[in-house]
Amino acid sequence: MTGPLTGKRILVTGASRGAGRAIAAACAAQGGQVVVHYNQQRDSAEALADELGEFALGVIGHDLGKADAGAHLWQEAEAQFGPLDALVNNAGIYRATPLNDDAQWGAGWSEQLAVNLRAPCDLMRAAINTFRARGGGSIVNIASRAAYRGDGPDHAGYAAVKAGLVAAAKTLARAHSGEGILIYTLTPGWIETDMAPSRVEARRAAVAEIPLGAVAQPEEIGAVTAFLLTGACPSATGTVMDINGASYVR
């Protein structure tokens, strides 16, 4: 099978489940070869690799909460699977940072700064330095609508680090687009994954604020990501695309 991503070798972080899994599948469906990253769910990552067959280069485990994890992951992925053409920064965590709880506030900020901001920025840095020597490459970051509209009162930390990722991606896109390095960012609202609200009351409230009347499906994130990685619209580099059912319109 050939497609617009044939010949592209893509590292997808957090690919063992949810949106990351859908992104990996969408890339493979268009001919891309995927490195499936996971943190703890090795069995799920290996099951996905089996499903993708020849379009899975392999699986790689790495805890993105550790110091310099992003740089190490990129180096290890290239050492194991060869030169990479694209990066999808999908892995992320959602932690509360309530004002009235010192322990949660501190832990939530520390964990999210490491996983949601430092690791993807380190990965972008490593990828860009590699791509510059090879004549180009592509990066897609999965951020959140919270970067622009904010989040609930107990999730200031989450909103702040996602805003930081958006700003870093814009900065690097402006700096390196002339070298053939294309960087895009998606800012979804709720996605139908295990991070979405599950309690009845919370679910009703989440859907009620979405004019479309439904949370996004992981396959929607996968489809947009795969399209951007094809390079069909290089002038869109630096763009931030909202996928939130018109729940936040800029």
Identify the pLDDT of residue 204: 83
Q: 34, 55 in Cβ contact below 8 A?
A: yes
Identify the pLDDT of residue 205: 82
Mean pLDDT, the chain, rounded, equals: 95
Is 158 noted as a catalytic residue in this protein? yes
Enumerate residues 6+ apart whose C-beta is below 8 A from 63.
39, 69
Give 139's strand partners.
Answer: 87, 183
Identify the pLDDT of residue 207: 87
Percentage above 70 pLDDT, the chain: 97
Please, is 54 exposed, middle or buried when counting C-beta atoms within 10 Å of its C-beta (0-12, 13-18, 19+)? Answer: exposed
3-state secondary structure of 246: coil
Each residue of 99-136: pLDDT tens digit?
A: 999 999 999 999 999 999 999 999 999 999 999 999 99
DSSP code of 180? T
What is the rounded average pLDDT of the residues 226-230?
98
Regarding pTM above 0.85, the answer is yes
Each residue of 6-40: pLDDT tens digit?
A: 999 999 999 999 999 999 999 999 999 999 999 99
Give 56's strand partners.
Answer: 34
Q: How far is 72 from 93, CA to CA, in rounded Å?
A: 19
DSSP states along 192-236: SSTTS--SHHHHHHHHHT-TTSSPBPHHHHHHHHHHHHTTS-GGG
Q: Is the pLDDT of residue 231 over 70?
A: yes
CATH of domain 9-243: 3.40.50.720
Identify the pLDDT of residue 206: 82
Domain residue ranges of the chain, discontinuous segments joined by +: 9-243
| First CA to last CA distance, the chain | 39
Task: Give the pair of three-digit tokens for residue 216.
Answer: 């996004």
Q: How far is 24 from 13, CA to CA, in rounded Å?
A: 9
Identify the pLDDT of residue 182: 98
Q: Given 38, 94, 148, 158, which residue is catalytic? A: 158
